Amino acid sequence: MQAIKFDENAKFLVTGGAGFIGSSICETLVNMGHHVLCLDNYSTGKRKNIEHLFANALFTLVEGDIRDASICNQVTAGVDFVLHQAAIASVPQSIEEPQLYHDINVTGTLNMLEAARLNKVKKFVYASTSAIYGDDESLPKKEGEEGNLLSPYAYNKKANEEYAYLYTSLYGLDTYGLRYFNVFGKRQDPNGAYAAVVPKFITELLANRAPEIYGNGEQTRDFTYIDNVVQANLCACLCPSEYAGQAFNIAYGASDNILELYETLRSLLDKDIEATILPPRKGDILHSFADISKAKELLGYNPQYSFERGIKECVVWYKKELA
C-alpha cells in the first residue's frame, strides 16, 4: 500500500469493524500505530476476524448496534475519523426483507451521521455500492450517470449518499461515499445463501463440490481486492474538504466475467469440476466496470492489486484457512 500518514494522535472509529472490510481497515490502522475503536454487533461480522487485535492496547471493541442512537453518540465522542462500514449487503436478501435493510442501512447510517455531526468528527467516510448504477447500461460506470435502482439495497445506499450530501451542505460535516465494486479477499464469508461469489467458488472447489453460477456466466464484474478498498478509505480521510459531500467509484478499473473468474479459480486450485448453472437472480446488475478517474484525481486513490494479483493472494489465504 502507498505511504499514507496521519497525525500520531489521530483516533479512528470503524463501524462494522468485525466484518470482512472493517476488520482489514482496523488491522491496517493498528499496524500503522493508531488508536482504533471498533463498533460491531456481530450480526454479519465475526469475532474471529478481530481476535488477533484484542491484545493490542491501540484497539478497543464496543459491542453495539448502529440502530441505537445512544451507542452511536457514545462511540463517536473524541473520534477524528469515522469509517462507516456497518451494513447488511445482499441484493437478493434486501428484496426479501426490505424493512430490515432500511432500518440498518438507512436509519443506522443516519444515526451515525448525526452522532458524527454532534461530536464534530473531522471526516465521515462511508461504504456505498456499485449497485447504485442500477439498470444504466453504459460502461464504464461513471459517477453522475446512474440508472433506475433495482433493489432495496441499492436504494438504501442511494439514500445514504443523499443524506451524506445534506450533512455536508447543511452542517459542514465532511462526508465521502465510496462505491465499492465487488470486493474480495481474506476473511470474506463463504457461507450462507447470499455469500459473495469469490469465497463461495473457492470453498466449494476446495471441498470438491460444484459451485452455482446464476445466469449464463457472461455477466461482468470489476473485482476489487480488499487492500485497494482499505487504501481508498484512508485516502478519503485525507481528502480536501472542497470535495466533501461526493461519492467515488472504488474498484480496480477492469472487467472480468463470472466464467473467467471460475476458470481462473479452477486452474489455481487444479480442479476439474463443472459449475451448476441456475436462472438469473432478481436485482442483479448484468455488467459492472468502473471509471475510477475521479477517485484517482480527487482522493489520490491508486489501486495496487489487479484481479490477477488479488485472486492469487486470496486463494493462498483460503487454502490455509480451510486446511
Instruction: Please check the confidence at residue 195 and state whether its pLDDT lies above 80.
Output: no
Instruction: Tell me, yes or no, whether 171 lies in a domain.
Output: yes
| Higher local confidence (pLDDT), 40 or 2 | 40
Instruction: Please check the confidence at residue 206 and state whether its pLDDT lies above 80.
Output: yes
For residue 66, what is its C-alpha cell?
A: 448502529
Please report how the helices 226-237 and 307-321 are oriented relative to each other, as an axis angle in degrees rounded to 10: 110
What's the confidence (pLDDT) of residue 230? 98
The SS3 assignment for 58 reads coil
- Convert the pLDDT of each residue in 44-60 to its tens digit: 999 999 999 999 999 99
Q: What residue numbers bound the domain in which 80 lies?
A: 11-181+225-252+291-304
Instruction: Tell me, yes or no, whether 270 lies in a domain.
Output: no
What's the confidence (pLDDT) of residue 238? 97
Instruction: Tell me, yes or no, whether 286 lies in a domain.
Output: no
pLDDT band at 4 (very low <50, low <70, confident <90, very high): confident
Pick the closest to residue 223 from 99, 121, 296, 312 (CA basis). Answer: 312
Total-model pTM = 0.94
Instruction: Please check the confidence at residue 145 and state whether its pLDDT lies above 70.
Output: yes
Instruction: Tell me, yes or no, whether 278 lies in a domain.
Output: no
Half-sphere exposure of 93 (CA within 13 A, CB side): 12
| Mean pLDDT, residues 266-278 | 94
User: Total domain count for the chain?
Assistant: 1
Classify residue 220 by its DSSP letter: E
CA 123 → CA 15, 303, 319, distances in Å?
Answer: 14, 21, 37
Instruction: Tell me, yes or no, whether 199 lies in a domain.
Output: no
Domain of 112: which CATH number?
A: 3.40.50.720
Pick the closest to residue 279 from 231, 237, 233, 217 (CA basis). Answer: 217
Instruction: Please check the confidence at residue 323 and state whether its pLDDT lies above 90.
Output: no
Instruction: Tell me, yes or no, whether 268 lies in a domain.
Output: no
Catalytic residue, from 126, 133, 153, 262: name it.
153
- Out of 11-15, 165-169, 232-236, 286-290, which region has the weakest mean confidence (pLDDT)? 286-290
What's the confidence (pLDDT) of residue 286? 83
Strands ordered across the beta sheet of 123-129: 59-63, 35-40, 11-15, 81-84, 123-129, 175-180, 246-250
Rounded to 5 degrees, φ, ψ at 254 are: -145, 170
What's the confidence (pLDDT) of residue 193? 66
What's the confidence (pLDDT) of residue 2? 53
Q: Is 176 a catalytic residue?
A: no
**What's the rounded Cα separation, in Å, for the pair 109 and 160?**
7
| Mean pLDDT, residues 216-240 | 95
What's the confidence (pLDDT) of residue 52? 97
What's the confidence (pLDDT) of residue 72? 98
Radius of gyration of the chain (CA): 19
Which amino acid, residue 238? L
Instruction: Please check the confidence at residue 164 and state whether its pLDDT lies above 80.
Output: yes
**What's the rounded Cα separation, in Å, for the pair 88 and 68?**
16
For residue 152, what is its C-alpha cell?
A: 432495496
- Convert the pLDDT of each residue in 73-129 to its tens digit: 999 999 999 999 999 999 999 999 999 999 999 999 999 999 999 999 999 999 999
The average confidence (pLDDT) of the chain is 95
State the burial class of residue 145 (Cβ atoms within 10 Å of its Cβ: 0-12, 13-18, 19+): exposed
- Convert the pLDDT of each residue in 282-307 to its tens digit: 877 788 899 999 999 999 999 999 99
Instruction: Tell me, yes or no, whether 97 lies in a domain.
Output: yes
The SS3 assignment for 284 reads coil
| Mean pLDDT, residues 237-262 | 96
DSSP H helices in the chain = 20-31, 69-76, 91-96, 98-101, 108-118, 152-171, 197-206, 226-237, 258-269, 293-294, 307-321
Instruction: Tell me, yes or no, whether 266 lies in a domain.
Output: no
pLDDT band at 13 (very low <50, low <70, confident <90, very high): very high
By residue count, the chain amounts to: 323
**What's the rounded Cα separation, in Å, for the pair 71 and 62?**
9
What's the confidence (pLDDT) of residue 202? 95
Cis upstream peptide for 140 (omega within 30°):
yes
